Amino acid sequence: KTFRVADQGDALSMDPHSLNESVQLSFTGNVYEPLVGRDKKLGLTPALATSWSQVNPTTWRFELRRNVSFHDNTPFTADDVVFTLQRAASEGSDMRSYTNTIKEVKRIDDHTVDVITQTPFPILPDVLSSVYVMSRKWCTENSAERPVDKRKGIENAASFRANGTGPFRLKSRDPGVRTVLVRNFGYWGKIEGNFEEVVYTPIGNDATRVAALASGEVDMMQPVPVQDVARLKRNPAIEVLQGPELRTIFLGMDQSRDELLYSSVKGKNPFKDKRVRQAFYQAIDMEAIRTRIMRGAATPTGLMVAPGIRGYVAELDKRLPYDPEASKKLLAEAGYPNGFEVKLNCPNDRYVNDGEICQAVAGMLARVGVKINLEAESKATYFPKILSRNTSFYMLGWTPGTYDSHNPLNALMATPGASGRGQFNLGNYSNPKLDELTDRIASETDQKKRGAMIAEAFRIHQDDIGHIPLHQQALAWGMQKNVRVVQMSDNYHHYKWGGM
């Protein structure tokens, strides 16, 4: 069966190490495989490694699957694993944040590999679930030992051809137009679905994409614009599959400068005052946003991580109540009885209805007296700006690439510091206790203790109102009635599980 699928964007490259981005990893994940895979519930599952264990705090041992061969029929061995991890750590690779804790990769025998980390690294298997294994022979033959080097202008066969071990082979690739996969009949495992061919087409324009589904030109497309969900659901030929996504959308506030860059308040920073942050929090009516703007396709959240991320604590996932009166009172207490003016930076083409959410937030804040100057813009200009911390109030969404809570703690909540810590903590929220906990979480191998520490860190952050979490947006996949697919909350598409 030929399965035609349309997506908002295209995988930019077929090289699984060239870009750490979910569309690309999702797509190449059908061709390549990691050592440790994920099951339908996002739990870890054997993939190219049949088992793994911690030999000592800094050494993980992986037993490799036997009788596996790449699409070009070369057998898969430990050499390939060693090569892959080297490649992923090499220049030009975008997976280096996953591999930089690795000190050494040792080939024990053809089917055993030891990975030695610099410090105890309890989540190595989680991390390695994003690193896909490539064939050393194929890469060498195609001079693709490293991901493409844009600086020297050297092209790389791996960016438009592929040779993995996965359930599908790459048949043809026309970047931005269509990419065709065919079933790998020599796959080591079982392919549950019946797709023999997958035709993948990016369609950027929402309306066109919906039209393509409605007119039956594609079997499945994603994302379904939230406002079209209801209408499509009413269409007897079409089904919309909705589910929570791992990404958490939140607002951040500049809490470190002594005077905000873009605000009417001069000489002091209102966001340093927890009452102001709380007032903002309580002024936002998430229920209205959920029903009106997201049309129900969102889960308001009180936490910075979604269910499904290791470390998620259901008890903590409670929002402060929506209460404009309280909010006004808090503002007055903080010394802003008439509110103040501040600029909100916002992307308008990155997250589901991001611009609309910001507008709604601006409207809600206006009701408690805060005047928001909304600046909504394309992600191409938005991200450079906020990443240089040239903002006072901003919106961001985050999916932990490791499916582990340490990642957001480290990237979003810890005080900015060396080696990427707090890199996306764009408002420079800072609490030393949280920083300390984050460090300990990184190397704690006892999952139970680790979980407790994560919960503690989240509680601290929640208490401080370090950020204003909004919601987890919902995935919405639209498909013809006869299509069966498994929707993963990380929005990966595994065609081996789909059928018609």
Partner 1 sequence: MIAFVLRRILQAAAVMLVVAFIAFSLFQYVGDPVLAMVGQDATPEERAELRSKLGLDQPFHAQFARFVGNAVQGEFGLSYRQGRKVSTLLEERLPATLELSLAAAVLALTAGIPLGVYTALKRDGWLANLFLAVSLIGVSLPTFLIGILLILLFAVVLGWLPSYGRGDTVALGWWSTGLLTVDGWKHLLLPAFTLCLFQLTLIMRLVRSEMLEVLRTDYIRFARARGLPDRTIHFGHALRNTLVPVITIAGLQLGSIIAFSIITETVFQWPGMGLLFIQAVQSADIPIMAAYLCLIALVFVVINLAVDLLYFAVDPRLRIDRASSSH
Partner 2 sequence: MSALARLRDSDLWFSFRTSPVAIAAALVTAILVFGAVFAPWVAPHQPFELASLDLNDSLLPPAWSAEGRIAYPLGTDDQGRDVLSTILYGSRISLAVGVASVLLALVLGVSLGLLSGYVGGRLDAFIMRVADVQLSFPAILIALLIDGAARAMLPRDAHSDTLSLMVLVGSIGLANWVQYARTVRGSTMVEKNREYVQAARVIGVSPLRIMATHVLPNALGPVLVIGTINVATAIITEATLSFLGVGVPPTSPSLGTMINTGNNFLYSGEWWLVVFPGLALVLLCMSVNLLGDWLRDALNPKLR
Residue ranges binding partner 2 (CB under 8 A): 206-207, 210-211, 214, 225, 227-232, 261-262, 285, 288-289, 292-293, 343, 348-349, 355-356, 359-360, 362-367, 371-378, 381, 385, 390
Options 188, 383, 492, 497; binder of partner 1; rule CB under 8 A = 383
Best CA proximity match to 401, nearest among 12, 19, 8, 14: 19
Give the span between the Cα atoms of 260 and 391, in whole angstroms: 8
Q: Which does 354 bind (CB under 5 to 8 A by kind): partner 1, partner 2, none?
A: none
Of 108 and 366, CB closest to partner 2: 366
Q: What is the DSSP letter of 369?
A: T
Minimum distance, C-beta of residue 411 to partner 1, in the bound complex (Å): 7
Of 375 and 490, CB closest to partner 2: 375
- Angle, helix 432-443 to helix 447-464, in steps of 10 degrees: 160
What is the dihedral sign for C-alpha 306, 309, 312, 314? positive
Q: Which does 204 bind (CB under 5 to 8 A by kind): partner 1, partner 2, none?
A: partner 1
Best CA proximity match to 250, nearest among 424, 477, 366, 438: 424
- Is residue 472 exposed (0-12), middle (13-18) or buried (19+ Cβ within 10 Å)? buried
Q: Which does 363 bind (CB under 5 to 8 A by kind): partner 1, partner 2, none?
A: partner 2
Minimum distance, C-beta of residue 354 to partner 2, in the bound complex (Å): 11
Collapsing DSSP to helix, strand or coil, 374 comes out as strand
The 90-109 site mask, x for binding partner 1 (CB under 8 A), equals: ----x-xxx-----------
Minimum distance, C-beta of residue 467 to partner 1, in the bound complex (Å): 16
89: contact with partner 1 by CB under 8 A: no
Of 430 and 462, CB closest to partner 1: 430
Best CA proximity match to 286, nearest among 357, 366, 374, 367: 357
* Alpha-carbon separation of residue 207 from 125, 178, 214, 225 (angstroms): 40, 19, 10, 9
CA atoms within 13 Å, Cβ hemisphere of 433? 12
Q: Which does 289 bind (CB under 5 to 8 A by kind): partner 2, partner 1, none?
A: partner 2
Of 424 and 497, CB closest to partner 1: 424
Which amino acid would we find at residue 161?
R
Contacting positions for partner 1 (CB under 8 A):
12-13, 15, 18-21, 94, 96-98, 147-148, 150-151, 153, 155-156, 159-160, 174-178, 201-205, 207-209, 211-212, 214-217, 349, 378-381, 383-384, 387, 401, 411, 419-420, 423-424
